[in-house]
Structures are given as C-alpha cells and as structure tokens.
Amino acid sequence: MPKLGTRITRRELERAGDPWPAELEEAALRTWALLEELRARIGRPLFVTSFYRTPEHNARIGGSSNSAHMRALAADISVSATADARAKDSRELAADLARSWRDLDYDEVIWYDDSRGGHVHIGLARPGKRPRLEVLHAPASGGYALWDPLAGEGLQAGAAGRLRSNPGILVALAGAGLVALALLASRARR
C-alpha cells in the first residue's frame, strides 16, 4: 500500500466533500489508500471530485439515500481536468478498473455519462462484506445499466435497479468479457 498523502492530501479530499468524523476515520483511510493506489497505477493526476459527504450535503445534491459517500467508502474521480477529455478518459478508467484492476477489491464502479458529470464513482464494501465487483454505466437518459466494458454496451437499461433491489440475483461482471446473471436457488425453484 502506498504511503498516505504522497499524492493525495487530506485537504484535497476534504475540499472534494466534507471533513469526516472520527468514527469514519478507518473507512476514510481505506478509501484514501485505494485512491493512492489508483493514482500510482495510472501514472497521472487523479482528480477527486467527491469524497465523504454528510447526510445533509448528500441530500442537498440529490445523492442516494444509502450512498457509500456518507460512510467515507466512496469517491468520485476523474483523470482529466477539462470537460472535453473527461468523458472519454472516465470511460477508459472505468473500463480499466473492471477489466484489469479487480484486485483493488472495489464494491462498485459507476461510469457516469458526460451529461451526468463524466466521472467515475468507485465504492468500497462495508467492513466484513464481500465486494460485489459491480460495474455500472449511468447513461444520459438516467438510471443505471449493468455495463460490460469488453462488450462496450450496457445491458438492458434499468436492469441494475431491479438487480440491486432484489437480493436473490447475483451479478458477475467483466469476467473474460462475459456477463452472467444467475438466480439463487430460492428464485430458481419458483
């Protein structure tokens, strides 16, 4: 693990969100370490546009009511400072995370369309939980779609919402370019 603060400072993270409370220090340090590792791997600047958010801040900007940002377990990032390059670069970063860097044990990666900010959301699993390695695209039309970066296209729009709200469905993404959906035994017996 890289030394914390060698590339990303606490001030930079707090500027991209809110100062995190002491009880979230461990989670914030895990996410910070992930960002440091990611920045080292890409070998160029990584811009953190959102990190920890208080529940009030999260509500004000329309964040998810169960956002990992409120647990200091997520960051929104970009590798480009200019809007013109951001969409292409963010898509490539999300694809690299899904294809090559699964060892980072992310819980979810969401590539946001240019019209929705053109950034990548990376979230970590809660302590003791197994990372889902879920890869989504947030298209201009809204919602979320499962995304296989090797195929280049999202799965059926809106599928992610249905999958996320149904704990009986497992999602395996980006493995050898195949996307497989399997029902748990409880669903399959119906």
The ranges assigned to domains in the chain are: 10-188
**For tokens 């280049």, what's the residue?**
152
Residue 16 CA to residue 19 CA, distance in Å, equals 9
Q: How big is the chain, counted in residues?
A: 190
Give which of 90, 82, 77, 91 is closest to 39, Cα–Cα. Answer: 77
| Average pLDDT value for residue range 14-32 | 94
CATH 3.30.1380.10 is held by the domain 10-188 = yes
**For tokens 């960002």, what's the residue?**
35
pLDDT in tens, 141-190: 999 999 888 775 554 444 444 344 333 333 333 332 223 232 222 233 33
Is the pLDDT at 54 greater than 70? The verdict is: yes
Mean pLDDT check: name the lowest of 3-7, 48-52, 99-103: 3-7
50 has which bridge partners?
A: 76
Q: Global pTM?
A: 0.75
Between residues 58 and 157, which one has the greater pLDDT?
A: 58
Burial of 53 (0-12, 13-18, 19+ CB in 10 A): buried
